[in-house]
Amino acid sequence: MNSKQLKKWLEQQGATFQPGKGSHLKVFLNGKQSTLPMHGTTELGKGLEAAIKRQLGLK
């Protein structure tokens, strides 16, 4: 999954976004925060994807 696909999935879960530093977004969901790197079509590592979901209290 690349960052664009993960962002779309997070939006469907109700997440909101704010600009971060450089090519990153701050993601907010249910009072929790994580950072999503927006590196185009580059695939995110499975560990990074899992960490973002875990930090936001998903799966």
50 has pLDDT over 80: yes
- CATH number for the domain including 35? 3.30.920.30
31: pLDDT confidence band, cut at 50, 70 and 90?
A: very high
Q: Token digits for 17?
A: 């976004």
pTM: 0.90
What's the rounded mean pLDDT across residues 17-34? 96
10 has pLDDT over 90: yes
Q: Residue 19 sits in which domain range? A: 3-55
Domains identified in the chain, total number: 1
The whole-angstrom separation of Cα 29 and Cα 12 is 11
Q: Given CA atoms 14, 39, 35, 55 in this order, what sign does their dihedral have?
A: positive
CA 46 to chain centre: 12
What per-residue confidence (pLDDT) applies to 40?
84
What per-residue confidence (pLDDT) applies to 59?
76
